[in-house]
C-alpha cells in the first residue's frame, strides 16, 4: 500500500494507507492520550480519550480505530477535543476513590498523570462509587477493583499476549466489572504465573504487585516517541 497525504494540526504529512489516526499522530510526535489502547492489539475503544476533530465529520472520531484517508484534515488538540477529554477524565475521577496520596501507584498512575496534563483537579461532581475488598491472597497480584476504570487492558493483555484468559468483563451498566472466573476473588489461582503483564499495563493502582522489599510497580506505559 502506498502513502497518502493529509493534514495534521495544520501540517501536511504523508502516511501509509491503512494506518490509524492515532498511529500517524504518534509517528509525527503528537501525543494523543489513551487509557485503553495497547499497541499491536485490536483497539477496544473503551475510554474514548483519543477522540480528535476531523474536518467534515459531525462528531468527534476515535483516533485509535479510524484509518487515515487521503486529504483528511485532523485536529488532535482543538479546544473542543480538549474539553471532551477533560470531561471524560473528570467522569473517571468522579467515581474513583480520593486516595492518591496513599496509593502505591501514585507515581506511575496514568489516570492521575492524564488528569494533571489536562488540568483536571477535583471533579465538579460525584457519581456512585464502587467499593470492593482488596484481593491480596494471590502471591503474584493484588487487585483493588475500587480503582478499576474498566479500560479492559488486563482482559486483552492476558488473553492476547499471555494466552491465559484469566479475566473477562461481566454484568452491565453501573455493575460492569472485570471478573476472574465466575467473579471469585483471584485468591491463590495457579494459572496466574507471575508474568506481571496485566500489572504493567494497568493504567491505575487497580492491579499491583504484592510489595516486597525493593520491588514496586513500574510504569506508566505512556507513549514516548522513538
Binder among 26, 153, 208, 217 for ligand SF4 (CB under 6 A): 153
Of the listed pieces 17-25, 59-67, 99-107, 125-133, which binds ligand SF4 according to CB under 6 A? 99-107
Q: For helices 110-117 and 79-94, what crossing angle results, to 10°?
A: 140
User: Is residue 112 near ligand SF4 by the rule CB under 6 A?
Assistant: yes
Tell me the backbone φ, ψ of residue 58, rounded to 5 degrees: -75, -25
Residues contacting ligand SF4: total by CB under 6 A: 25
User: Is residue 118 near ligand SF4 by the rule CB under 6 A?
Assistant: no
Pick between residue 3 and residue 99 the one whose CB is nearest to ligand SF4.
99
Are the C-beta atoms of residues 10 and 21 closer than 8 Å to each other?
no
Binder among 26, 85, 147, 217 for ligand SF4 (CB under 6 A): 147
- Rg of the chain's alpha carbons, rounded to an integer? 19
User: Is residue 26 near ligand SF4 by the rule CB under 6 A?
Assistant: no
x/- mask, ligand SF4, residues 181-210, rule CB under 6 A, reads ---------------------xxxxxx---
Binder among 114, 152, 208, 217 for ligand SF4 (CB under 6 A): 152
Binder among 74, 166, 178, 209 for ligand SF4 (CB under 6 A): 178
User: Is residue 94 near ligand SF4 by the rule CB under 6 A?
Assistant: no
Dist. CA 92–CA 74, nearest whole Å: 26
Kindly identify the residues of this chain, within the stretch 63-82, that bind ligand SF4 according to CB under 6 A.
none
User: Is residue 106 near ligand SF4 by the rule CB under 6 A?
Assistant: yes
Closest CA relative to residue 130, chosen from 144, 116, 119: 144
Binder among 19, 28, 41, 97 for ligand SF4 (CB under 6 A): 97
Binder among 49, 76, 81, 96 for ligand SF4 (CB under 6 A): 96
Pick between residue 6 and residue 105 the one whose CB is nearest to ligand SF4.
105
Give the binding site for ligand SF4 (CB under 6 A): 96-97, 99-100, 103, 105-106, 109, 111-112, 147-154, 178, 202-207
Amino acid at each position: 500500500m502506498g502513502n497518502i497525504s493529509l493534514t495534521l494540526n495544520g501540517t501536511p504529512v504523508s502516511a501509509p494507507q491503512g494506518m490509524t489516526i492515532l498511529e500517524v499522530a504518534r509517528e509525527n510526535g503528537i501525543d494523543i492520550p489513551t487509557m485503553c489502547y495497547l499497541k499491536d492489539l485490536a483497539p477496544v475503544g473503551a475510554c474514548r480519550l483519543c477522540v480528535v476533530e476531523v474536518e467534515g465529520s459531525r462528531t468527534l472520531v476515535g483516533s485509535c480505530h479510524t484509518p487515515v484517508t487521503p486529504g483528511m484534515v485532523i485536529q488532535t488538540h482543538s479546544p473542543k477535543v480538549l474539553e471532551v477529554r477533560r470531561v471524560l477524565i473528570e467522569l473517571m475521577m468522579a467515581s474513583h476513590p480520593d486516595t492518591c496520596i496513599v496509593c502505591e501507584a501514585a507515581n506511575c498512575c496514568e489516570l492521575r498523570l492524564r488528569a494533571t496534563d489536562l488540568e483536571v483537579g477535583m471533579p465538579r461532581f460525584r457519581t456512585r462509587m464502587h467499593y470492593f475488598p482488596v484481593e491480596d491472597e494471590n502471591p503474584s497480584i493484588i487487585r483493588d477493583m475500587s480503582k478499576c476504570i474498566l479500560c479492559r487492558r488486563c482482559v486483552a493483555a492476558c488473553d492476547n499476549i499471555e494466552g491465559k484468559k484469566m479475566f473477562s468483563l461481566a454484568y452491565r451498566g453501573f455493575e460492569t466489572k472485570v471478573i476472574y472466573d465466575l467473579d471469585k476473588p483471584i485468591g491463590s489461582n495457579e494459572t496466574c504465573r507471575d508474568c506481571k503483564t496485566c500489572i504493567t499495563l494497568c493504567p491505575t493502582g487497580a492491579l499491583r504487585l504484592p510489595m516486597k522489599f525493593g520491588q514496586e510497580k513500574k510504569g506508566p506505559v505512556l507513549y514516548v516517541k522513538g
